[in-house]
Amino acid sequence: MERQRRSGGFGGGGRTRRKVCQFCADKNLKIDYKDVDTLTKYTTDRGKILPKRMTGACAIHQREVARAIKRARQVALMPFVKD
């Protein structure tokens, strides 16, 4: 008898590959609140911070990214809400 694999979801098929944290993979990449171009990759088109399941960042770096985004908003480098 053949065993069936559990796909984990609503019949999506095969397994998806786990995302790798970009900051852990590249040790030279730093999180800085002044680097708005990097921080905008971690926000939605409406200006909300993306969760780590979508960004692929590890928990430590996701917290640092969120802190940097909030700091950049306070000093008016990034908007709180985009229209």
Structural domains counted in the chain: 1
CB 64 within 8 A of CB 31: yes
Residue 17: inside a domain: no
- Give me the domain span that covers residue 38: 22-74
Sign of CA dihedral 80, 81, 82, 83: negative
Residue 33: inside a domain: yes
CB 40 within 8 A of CB 78: yes
CB 78 within 8 A of CB 39: yes
The tens place of each residue's pLDDT in the chain, 83 residues long, gives 555 555 555 656 667 777 889 999 999 999 999 999 999 999 999 999 999 999 999 999 999 999 999 999 999 999 999 87
Residue 5: inside a domain: no
- CATH number of 48's domain: 4.10.640.10
Nearest-angstrom CA–CA distance, 24 and 58: 8
